[in-house]
A and B are shown apart, each in its own frame.
Chain A
Amino acid sequence: MVSVVARAGAAALRSFENRKPVLLRRRLFASAPRCSSLQPPDVPLLADAARISLSEKEVEDFAPKIRQVIDWFGQLQAVDLVSVQPSFRADTELNADLREDSPETFQNREAMLAEVPNYDSPYIKVPKVINKE
């Protein structure tokens, strides 16, 4: 969710920079976060999805802060994007860095496997998880 906003932010910023001087978007400079039309985040749900455990106090603390960040970006809702081409990514280089299909064996496999907390050679041992709930 956040990075979709970030994408939109980058694109909007670019169009903002390229705008004709006449069109002033005053509303973008509002200092106080406006009442956003975006839904407030469900922090317990987000925490669960991200597998981060929060105490009730932490949820109380974080919820308004997260909301503030979202609303701050949410100001971009006001930008008129009808004549702007959608961009997929924020970078401007169109250079796809592709790799040749030639094999290389990683030489230090033992070091990686030595770091596995529960190694039941040759497998990585994990708690039994059937369906993620």
Chain B
Amino acid sequence: MASIFFQGIRSNQLIVYPLAHFSRIQTAVYCTLQRPQGQARPQEVSFQEQRKVQQTSSQTTTRKPLEQNMQGYEAIIGIETHVQLSTVTKAFCSCPYFYGSPPNTTICPVCMGLPGTLPVLNSKVVDFAVKLALALNCELSVTSKFDRKQYFYPDLPKGYQISQFDIPIATKGFIDLDLPVEFGGGHKRFGITRVHMEEDAGKLLHSDSGSYSHVDLNRAGVPLLEIVSEPDMRSGLEAAEYAAELQRLVRYLGVSNGNMQEGSLRCDVNVSIRPRGQLELGTKVEIKNMNSFSAMNRAIDYEISRQFLLHSQGQSDQIVQETRLWEEGYQKTVTMRKKEGLADYRYFPEPDLPEVVVTEDYIENIRSSLPELPELKRRRYEKMGLSMQDVLFLADDISVANFFDSTLENGAEAKLAANWIMGDIAAYLKNEHLSIDEVKLTPQELAELISSIKGGIISGKIGKEILFELITKGGTVQKIIEEKDLVQIVDPGAIEAMVDKILEENPKQLQQYRGGKTKLQGFFAGQVMKESKGKANPTLLNKILSEKLNANSK
């Protein structure tokens, strides 16, 4: 009998960081139940310990790679990510879900766990799961099933969470990413152990005083995808970049908005260290309550330092398997109550739900609907000759990448288009808190602008003004040039005439220039520009101006 079960989980025996996924079959001795929510009261860490760790961790606040401080040890990091899917309805009932709805308004008997209700799986959840699994290069399970993960907690209406235990929908994938240029760059590939579908719990709000809490079940039943990574990361930076790439991916695919602040992307991290070359893993510590990628980075680096310090003091037995919370205010991890043994979730197959079957045709359909993924885009942009900095910026947001691609399709040069998008356009978007899809500038007009400047019809400076008009009011480059009479003046005769005029009108400055103040050339140039309403070609203007100024000083 036991063999049937183990056949099912054979593929999962290589998981190093199961994080209480697996309960033992035989009844074992478990006392406590670990509830994965970061709302516990942290234990007070002794002042001495605090100070010691702070001294070490001050080294990690700079952007040095952590390995330098580790002297023969390496960190092993694994990450579990929960992605809240942006389906219209919940996983097992037809309730809509909107972040920020008034409490207990998007509920029904099914997601409230009232007696007699039955779950019915939302087809979109499977679509999104397959989409993400394919994007993560996973093997898809042709059939997978749901299981009940049983524990008692006020925000869990049914007393169990419908999840996938031993037969998840996807296993054995990987994700490719590029580290940011300012941290040394480079490609990295991290393994993905599994992806599975499950439902979210409600929200529990603790009162500050008093012996009660408040439950809001709006979120109960919202579909989640859990992504478990292989323990391949070696530093806080790699972990943060992994999480950022997952965010990029889910946004590219449109399966989630991936907002850590909103809670639609949650990461729990497992950190341990061991001497380099040792096969055996050290004691792993789970860290929760990180609300941003940079918090993840800092939390992990802190925890690595903490563990390294204990090792170096011969106190490695002080590192226990536990969950710690990241305290953003204090910039350190603190213990939650230590758990004694693994939680017993008493998994068994969900009898109310049939198997999930994905056919070859279905998979191929979804595969062909995938957009160009960030990794492929980055490689394509690299081949165009753009710098890594440009590549990473353009490929980060799918709307920006699409805008860039469209601009190229309209004939613009890659580097020029990249410069405009990353420079003036990005600055405007940042100031006004807009996305590139929300401004009136079109890729065609950007291409037109670029070619107008290249062809000498308008100067670069005028181009910037036109850009602003295009972004805010729209329209076409041609029309704006016509209406505002912005065509560049390239006739030497016309420029000469203006230069003469300016020199005549400013005898004092002319004398100063002849006297040695050559910097005043800029002043004259500015005056001529003003006279020409910005239309004089700068290069030609300076050439003629120099000639005239130096000729007269003979």
Contact = CB atoms under 8 A, between A and B. Distances in A.
A96 B206 contact: no
Contact of B153 (A4, A81, A132): A132
Contacts of B351: 3
Nearest to A38: B26
B30 A113 contact: no
B478 interface: no
Contacts of B357: 94, 96
A123 B216 contact: yes
A129 B215 CA distance: 11
A3 to B, nearest CB: 4
Contacts of B25: 1, 4
Contacts of A103: 88-89, 94-96
Interface stretch (B117-125, B177-185, B497-505): B117-125
A126 interface: yes
Interface stretch (B31-39, B58-66, B284-292, B448-456): B31-39
Contacts of B336: 131
B151 A132 contact: yes
B214 A105 contact: no
B88 A130 contact: no
Contact of B207 (A39, A49, A95, A128): A128
Nearest to A3: B348
A99 B121 contact: yes
B145 A1 contact: no
A86 B89 contact: no
Interface in B30-56: 30-35, 39-41
Interface string A29-72: 00000000011011001100101000000000000000000000
Nearest to A6: B348
B515 interface: no
Contacts of B114: 112
Interface in B53-109: 87-89, 94-96, 102-109
Contacts of A27: none
A93 interface: yes
Contacts of B355: 88-89, 94, 96
A7 B207 contact: no
Contacts of A122: 102-105, 216
Contacts of B108: 106, 109, 112
Interface in B129-161: 143-145, 150-154
A91 B27 contact: no
A102 interface: yes
Contacts of A7: 4, 349
B4 A123 contact: no
A123 B354 contact: no
A23 interface: no
B371 to A, nearest CB: 20
A20 B114 CA distance: 47
Contacts of B330: none
B212 A105 contact: no
* Interface SS majority for chain B: loop
Contact of A128 (B102, B213, B354): B213
B109 A106 contact: yes
Given A125-B214, A131-B34, A88 B27 contact: no
A75 B29 CA distance: 24
Interface residues of A, number: 56
B121 A97 contact: yes
A49 B4 contact: no
B368 interface: no
Nearest to B35: A132
Nearest to B5: A4
B120 A88 contact: no
B8 interface: yes
Contacts of A94: 143, 354-355, 357
Contact of A49 (B1, B167, B213, B344): B344
B126 interface: yes
A76 B204 CA distance: 44
A97 B214 contact: no
Contacts of B400: none
Given A99-B121, A99-B122, A123-B215, A89 B349 contact: yes
Contacts of B207: 128
Interface in B206-246: 206-207, 210-217
Contacts of A91: 354
Interface in A107-133: 109, 112-113, 120, 122-133
A102 B88 CA distance: 7
Contacts of B344: 49
A93 B122 contact: no
A47 to B, nearest CB: 12
Contacts of B8: 86, 88
B107 A98 contact: no
Contacts of B150: 49
Nearest to B210: A128
B27 A41 contact: yes
Contacts of A96: 121, 354-357
Contacts of A98: 120-123, 126
B116 to A, nearest CB: 13
Contacts of B27: 1, 39, 41-42, 45-46
Nearest to A129: B154
B214 A124 contact: yes
Nearest to B206: A128
B310 interface: no
A99 B109 contact: no
A101 B87 contact: yes
13 contacts: A88-B167, A97-B354, A99-B121, A104-B94, A105-B106, A109-B104, A123-B215, A123-B216, A125-B212, A127-B211, A128-B207, A129-B154, A130-B206
Given A88-B143, A113-B104, 20 more contacts: A7-B349, A39-B26, A88-B145, A96-B356, A99-B89, A101-B122, A101-B124, A103-B89, A105-B96, A124-B214, A124-B215, A126-B204, A126-B215, A128-B210, A128-B213, A129-B154, A130-B337, A131-B32, A131-B33, A133-B33
| The 5 residue pairs across chains A and B that have the minimum distance between CB atoms | A106-B108, A123-B214, A103-B96, A98-B123, A101-B124
